[in-house]
Amino acid sequence: MANLRKLCRKLDRLLTELGAGVVAGPYAWPAAYRQRVPQRVTILTTTRLVLTTWTRADAPELHQVHSDPETMRYVRSGRPETLDETESLIDSYMREQSERGWTKWRLADLQGRIVGRAGFGPHGDGRELGYTIRRDMWGKGMATEIASALVDRHRADAVKNEASHLRAYVAVANAPSSRVLEKVGLACVGTLDHDGTPCYLYRLPE
Ligand SMILES: CC(C)(COP(=O)(O)OP(=O)(O)OC[C@H]1O[C@@H](n2cnc3c(N)ncnc32)[C@H](O)[C@@H]1OP(=O)(O)O)[C@@H](O)C(=O)NCCC(=O)NCCS
């Protein structure tokens, strides 16, 4: 391990001389090397948005989204999250991606700035659609744009038999999210209690 660290430092110095940054930590890949290797894989793009896989370095920017109480009111535990929790979440997204090839991905604008996250969670032998948009981007049609692309993606995957159904749960009080689901073709099929929160269950007609 000591040799590996030494090697990393040496490589970093070398690459830094060629015009890049500094080492982030003793076990990290040299920063200069990281800058040269594309770490995110693009899943899909829309007119204004790009969905990619995550890297651990994305935790602080996702944390900006997940530390906002208003944004988190109807998602996950219903409260703002700590940076540690966001890091664990990104780890789980990266694990899901490598194990089954789909997860909730990093959502960015075409300049690469984070817009939120969107994608699929497991739901029986199918999937649950999910999205969270950075608060200052609400009301611009971002959720509708990415949800629509994900519905198309799900239909294409389902043809290959990777996933059979698509569902979504929405807190009854979360009217904007219900509206998004209806605009992209999901239908409300009932209500249920989700950890004490009354929710609508939506389904993509099969
Ligand atoms: C819900 C959320 C994803 C919506 O994102 P968005 O990018 O603002 O959504 P869009 O702009 O694509 O569409 C919102 C729609 O809801 C409508 N809307 C907004 N407020 C509304 C309200 N109080 N009642 C009914 N409809 C409302 C908008 O008018 C728009 O519909 P329209 O295009 O027909 O006018 C966003 O607010 C968010 O990230 N919230 C926090 C996380 C969350 O709740 N995620 C969903 C968990 S199920």
Q: Is residue 57 located within the same domain as residue 30?
A: no
Helix (H, G, I), strand (E, B) or coil at 195: coil
Instruction: Output the average pLDDT for the chain.
Output: 87
Residue 21, domain extent:
1-39
Q: Is residue 156 located within the same domain as residue 66?
A: yes
Predicted local confidence at residue 163, as pLDDT = 73
What's the CA-to-centroid distance between 111 and ligand 1, angstroms?
23
Q: Is residue 14 located within the same domain as residue 74?
A: no
Q: Is residue 139 located within the same domain as residue 52?
A: yes
Kind and range of the H or E element at 65? helix 59-66
Q: In ligand 1, which atom is closest to the CA atom of 70?
A: 41
Please state the rounded mean pLDDT for residues 56-72.
Answer: 97
Contact 133 CB / ligand 1 (< 6 Å):
yes
Helix (H, G, I), strand (E, B) or coil at 22: coil
Residue pair 93/105 in contact (Cβ under 8 Å)? The answer is: yes
Which position has the higher pLDDT, 27 or 67? 67
Give the count of domains, the chain: 2
What's the CA-to-centroid distance between 179 and ligand 1, angstroms?
6
- Chain segment 143-153, per-residue pLDDT in tens: 999 999 999 99
Predicted local confidence at residue 25, as pLDDT = 38
Contact 65 CB / ligand 1 (< 6 Å):
no
Would you place residue 40 in the very low, low, confident or very high pLDDT band (cuts 50, 70, 90)?
Answer: very high
Q: Is residue 29 located within the same domain as residue 72?
A: no
Residue by residue, DSSP assigns 135-164 as GGGTTSSHHHHHHHHHHHHHHHHHHTTS--
Backbone dihedral angles phi then psi of residue 78, each to the nearest 5 degrees:
80, 15
Predicted local confidence at residue 131, as pLDDT = 98
Predicted local confidence at residue 200, as pLDDT = 98
Residue positions counted in the chain:
206
Please state the rounded mean pLDDT for residues 96-110.
Answer: 97
Q: What is the Cα Rg of the chain in Å? A: 19
Predicted local confidence at residue 140, as pLDDT = 98
In a domain, 45, yes or no: yes
HEC profile for 29-56?
CCHHHHHHCCCCCEEEECCCEEEECCCH
Contact 138 CB / ligand 1 (< 6 Å):
yes
In a domain, 182, yes or no: no
Contact 46 CB / ligand 1 (< 6 Å):
no
Contact 141 CB / ligand 1 (< 6 Å):
yes
Contact 140 CB / ligand 1 (< 6 Å):
yes
Contact 178 CB / ligand 1 (< 6 Å):
no
Residue with tokens 């000591």, as numbered in its chain? 2
DSSP state of 83: H
**pLDDT-wise least confident of 76-80, 132-136, 181-185:** 76-80
Q: Whose CA is nearest to atom 18 of ligand 1?
A: 176
User: Residue 195 corresponds to which tokens in the numbers above?
Assistant: 């950890």
Q: Is residue 77 located within the same domain as residue 15?
A: no
d(CA 198, CA 52) in angstroms, rounded, equals 32
User: Residue 146 corresponds to which tokens in the numbers above?
Assistant: 């990415």
pTM: 0.85
Q: Is residue 158 located within the same domain as residue 114?
A: yes
Among candidate residues 54, 86, 87, the one with its CA nearest the CA of residue 72:
86
Residue 71, pLDDT above cutoff 70: yes
Would you place residue 102 in the very low, low, confident or very high pLDDT band (cuts 50, 70, 90)?
Answer: very high
For the chain, percent of residues with pLDDT exceeding 70: 81
Predicted local confidence at residue 116, as pLDDT = 98
Angle at 98 between CA 94 and CA 99, to 5 degrees: 115
Q: Is residue 24 located within the same domain as residue 83?
A: no
Instruction: Centre a 10 Å sphere on the Cβ of residue 95 and count the other Cβ atoms it contains.
Output: 11
Q: In ligand 1, which atom is closest to the CA atom of 183?
A: 34
